[in-house]
Amino acid sequence: MLRGPRRIMLGGPERLVKVSVAPVAALAVALLSSLSRCSLLEPEDRAVSALSPYFGTKTRYEDANPGLLPDPEAPRRDPELLEDTCTPVQLVALIRHGTRYPTAKQIRKLRQLHGLLQARRPGDGRAGPAGGRDLGAALADWPLGYADWMDGQLVEKGRQDMRQLALRLASLFPALFSVENYGRLQLVTSSKHRCVDSGAAFLQGLWQYYHPGLPPPDVADMECGPPRINDKLMRFFDHCEKFLTEVEKNATALYHVEAFKTGPEMQNILKKVAATLQVPVSNLNADLIQVAFFTCSFDLAIKGVKSPWCDVFDIDDAKVLEYLNDLKQYWKRGYGYTINSRSSCTLFQDIFQHLDKAIEQKQREQERKHKQGEWEREKQASR
């Protein structure tokens, strides 16, 4: 969301960055608390999966926008933005944090599923096609790869995501991201470590834009200063009592989601996965199925590998699991309840106040220049 005076907001909605240009600009980038993904492999070697279009917020950046593969630092300008007819006054971008590890809750569920596979009786495994080992046995031997301490922390690829995003934005709006305006940049973030770290990486990307080839200093030593934590602004939903009461802490708020989990579409997937992995269907549930599905996305994004978890599901399964995730977000964060959108009014009021202020400052500047020009013309005429 672009909104130089400029303002950039980085958040989950958990991070916000502000930068001002010439006297009027304010820049804000907000990084939302969620995932963005990129592979660790080089483009020609990158692992791919047919499931990638169905991972939602856990989709790698370059899977959603293949144009990033040739040059992830080059800006992609919308042809509708005409350079000669449009002058940016302010920029506001609402952005997700970079690629992260699974949360501790997700890791515990993955460990539970992994334990079910390892607990299969010695005779449970059957030979797969061409005499190979069955998928359940392959996954039982597949390294888990995630520990509780990782708990949603930003990975190095996530830092790279943010550095490259900063370079693209700065290249797209060079007048706003001028060296003179760098000192006016302010980063506001939630207290979530992945958002704080994403904000720091974004600032490092801007340093690279201003000082190519030079290693960036610690963000605390940068002219614009380190990210500033403001949970009331960037995690507005945690500070809205009505949202907390009616949605977040309401056991029945997601009853549509729970109904779908036990409905025929999900039950068919449970039976299919149980048969594929050769485990009792009674040992599986929708949450474990979702974790298996998203582990494919995490392995692609973080490790750059197409793990056996990707082979558990086909496209039809992926569509059902994508719908389940969308259904949850619809009722918990989207249009399901009116308070979901109203709880964000604090953030958007802040955004539009900065936009209005930027416009007013720009108008005053233009009026001042106009009066200055009239005065100079009158002075010339009186000579």
CA angle, residues 1, 220, 350, in degrees to nearest 5: 30
CB 283 within 8 A of CB 292: no
Dist CA 126 CA 280 (whole Å): 15
**Encoded amino acid at 188, one letter:** V
354 in catalytic set: no
Rg (CA), the chain: 25
Determine phi and psi for 113, rounding to 5 degrees: -65, -40
Chain position carrying tokens 């300008």? 77
CA angle, residues 279, 283, 285, in degrees to nearest 5: 115
- In terms of phi and psi (left: phi > 0; alpha: psi -120 to 50; beta: otherwise), the region of 130 is left
Name 371's bridge partners.
Answer: none
**What tokens does 198 get?**
């994403």
Question: Who's near 294: CB < 8 A, 6+ residues apart?
Answer: 55, 58, 102, 106
Chain position carrying tokens 């582990």? 295
Longest pairwise C-alpha distance within the chain: 105
Question: Who's near 30: CB < 8 A, 6+ residues apart?
Answer: 8, 9, 10, 11, 13, 14, 15, 16, 17, 92, 93, 94, 95, 188, 234, 347
Nearest to 274 by CA among 120, 129, 141: 120
CB 31 within 8 A of CB 11: yes
Which one from 97, 211, 239, 256 is the annotated catalytic residue?
97
Dist CA 281 CA 274 (whole Å): 5
CB 34 within 8 A of CB 96: yes
Nearest to 217 by CA among 226, 165, 171, 236: 226
Q: Whats the size of the chain, residue-wise?
A: 383
Residues labelled as active-site residues:
97
